[in-house]
Amino acid sequence: MSITAEQTEREQTNAELVAALRDAGDDPDASAWELDVINDSEHGRWEAYVNEEVVAEFTYRYVGGRVVLLSMWVDHGFRKRRVATELIARVLDEVQAAGDTITVICPVVGEFLARHPGYAGLVDPVHPGSGAFPRPAGAAPGDYDEQLTSFERDLN
């Protein structure tokens, strides 16, 4: 798969997940199953399981003392069923308990933060990330290009 095709697919998936997150609402009783979340730190991802089946995955990296939230995938059969919402909340609770900050690359997390401002304090003020939403006061769109370049440099 070409880089352009991969980017297009990732953008489409993110748009679908953001739409599903918006459509799901905030009904805490919407999910009818037990979601198990496991941090696979060896591979840099949190995995959500229903009945021993992986239904969602959330990739991350530790960079410069913070957790960089990269991307999320949710099985099509589990979209619009609060899986993304619950997975993000559990991950952010774990990050908060560890006393870490986050850099948001994944736009799905940005949308979640906009709807749940109680987690906004986790966003690293120096490196909020390109997916942070809403953007910090005074931040210009170009500010994120430099941060993303810096992040990519840190990964190598």
Can you name the CATH fold of 3-155?
Aminopeptidase (3.40.630)
| Sheet with 66-74, edge to edge strand ranges | 36-40, 45-50, 53-63, 66-74, 102-104
Select from 45, 86, 93, 39 the least CA-distant residue to 69: 45
**What does the H/E/C string look like for 81-116?**
CCHHHHHHHHHHHHHHHHCCCEEECCHHHHHHHHHC
Average pLDDT over residues 130-147: 56
3 state DSSP class of 154: helix
Peptide bond into 136 cis (omega under 30): no
Q: What is the pLDDT of residues 33-81, one digit of tens each?
A: 688 999 999 999 999 999 899 999 999 999 988 999 999 999 998 888 8
pTM of the model as a whole: 0.69
Beta bridge partners of 36: 49
